[in-house]
């Protein structure tokens, strides 16, 4: 069965600290997609990144970076020099076997960044 | 105006009442989804639709029904609401463009409380 585990329920850091959000997934598929979504206090979920299972290259976007490792079935998300505006719930997700637009979400990690 | 609009944003109702949550989108996407968010459980898929004539059950469809009245509209109904349906409900859309696989566009959510 497909599953996404975000073991960290809540993380608190002080501004400018680096923080890594963990995501571990389970799937028997050889082709799949992984995602991260952000849910700020306003509530609306926002797409951050998609990664194809064939592309293990890490990605960096500004202060955000993602580390995809198939060997450990992990897709971790690091925020460098965190800011108060990064405070949100972050969800990792995996595409369904039969329909890549159906996403299986993890339970989310709440990140609080204090000034 | 938001591309994906949900109404109502907040609703309090009593056990046994019929409730409809509506979703409309201006993105021109064919695919629409209803998710439910509960604390500690992440987002779970209730129903999804790939076009006006297509309705599919998701992970937790029991107690819910949907209607896809037009490409732009996807309604979720609770025929007889019960307290454990108290949750935050999200509508989402996605494009059929393979380049944007899995990129969901979410509404702002509808918070439903069943007393």
> DSSP letters of A30-63?
SS-EEEEEEE-TT---EEEEEEETT----EEETT
Q: How far is CA A76 from CA A59, A69, B58, in A?
A: 11, 9, 27
Asked whether the predicted pLDDT for residue B100 surpasses 70, the reply is: no
Check residue A97 and give its pLDDT: 67
Q: Does A53 touch chain B (CB under 8 A)?
A: no
| H helix and E strand count, chain B | 0, 11
Which of 1-30 (B) contact A at CB < 8 A? none
Check residue A35 and give its pLDDT: 94
Find the range with the poorest average confidence among B5-9, B29-33, B102-106: B102-106
Per-residue pLDDT of B21-51, as tens digits, reads 999 999 999 999 999 999 888 999 999 998 8
Asked whether the predicted pLDDT for residue A99 surpasses 90, the reply is: no
Asked whether the predicted pLDDT for residue B19 surpasses 80, the reply is: yes
User: What is the b/e burial string over B41-70, where b = at least 16 CB atoms within 10 angstroms of the residue's CB?
Assistant: ebbbbbbbbbeeeebeebebbeebebebee
Asked whether the predicted pLDDT for residue B18 surpasses 90, the reply is: yes
Residue pair A103/A97 in contact (Cβ under 8 Å)? The answer is no
**Residue whose tokens read 């598929």:** A29
In this prediction, residues B4-25 reach a mean pLDDT of 96
Residue pair A34/A92 in contact (Cβ under 8 Å)? The answer is yes
Closest to B28 in 3D by CA, of B72, B67, B62, B90: B72
Q: Does A98 touch chain B (CB under 8 A)?
A: no
Average pLDDT, chain B: 92
Confidence at A91, pLDDT banded by 50, 70, 90: very high
Q: Does A103 touch chain B (CB under 8 A)?
A: yes
Q: Judging by DSSP bridges, how do beta strands B105-106 and B87-94 pair with one another?
A: antiparallel
Q: Does B39 touch chain A (CB under 8 A)?
A: no
> Greater confidence, B19 or A58?
B19
Q: What is d(CA A28, CA A26) in angstroms, rounded to the nearest whole number?
A: 7
Confidence at A56, pLDDT banded by 50, 70, 90: confident
Residue pair B56/B47 in contact (Cβ under 8 Å)? The answer is yes
Average pLDDT, chain A: 92
Q: Is B83 exposed, middle or buried (0-12, 13-18, 19+ CB in 10 A)?
A: exposed
Beta carbons of B104 and A44 less than 8 Å apart: no
Read off the DSSP letter of residue B39.
T
% pLDDT > 70, chain B? 93
Q: What is d(CA A33, CA A12) in angstroms, rounded to the nearest whole number?
A: 28
Find the range with the poorest average confidence among A88-97, B35-44, B98-107: B98-107
Check residue B97 and give its pLDDT: 65
Confidence at B98, pLDDT banded by 50, 70, 90: low
3-state secondary structure of B9: coil
Q: Judging by DSSP bridges, how do beta strands A19-21 and A74-79 pair with one another?
A: antiparallel
Q: What is d(CA A66, CA A74) in angstroms, rounded to the nearest whole number?
A: 10
Asked whether the predicted pLDDT for residue B87 surpasses 80, the reply is: yes
């Amino acid at each position: 069965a497909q599953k996404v585990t975000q073991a960290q329920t809540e993380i608190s850091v002080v501004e400018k600290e680096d923080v890594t959000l963990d995501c571990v997934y389970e799937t028997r598929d050889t082709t799949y997609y992984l995602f991260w979504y952000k849910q700020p206090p306003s509530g609306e979920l926002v797409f951050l990144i998609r990664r194809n299972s064939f592309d293990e290259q890490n990605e960096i976007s500004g202060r955000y970076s993602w580390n995809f490792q198939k060997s450990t079935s992990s897709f971790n998300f690091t925020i460098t020099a965190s800011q108060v505006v990064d405070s949100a719930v972050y969800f990792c997700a995996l595409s369904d076997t039969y329909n890549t637009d159906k996403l299986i979400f993890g339970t989310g990690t709440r990140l609080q960044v204090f000034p | 105006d938001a591309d994906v609009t949900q109404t109502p944003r907040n609703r309090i109702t009593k056990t046994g009442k019929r409730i409809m949550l509506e979703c409309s989108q201006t993105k021109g996407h064919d695919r629409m989804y209803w998710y439910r968010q509960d604390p500690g459980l992440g987002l779970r898929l209730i129903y999804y639709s790939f076009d006006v004539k297509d309705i599919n059950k998701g992970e937790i469809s029991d107690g819910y029904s949907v209607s896809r009245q037009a490409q732009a509209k996807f309604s979720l109904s609770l025929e007889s609401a019960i307290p454990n349906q108290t949750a935050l409900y999200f509508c989402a859309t996605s494009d059929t463009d393979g380049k944007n696989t899995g990129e969901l566009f979410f509404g702002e959510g509808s918070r439903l409380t069943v007393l």
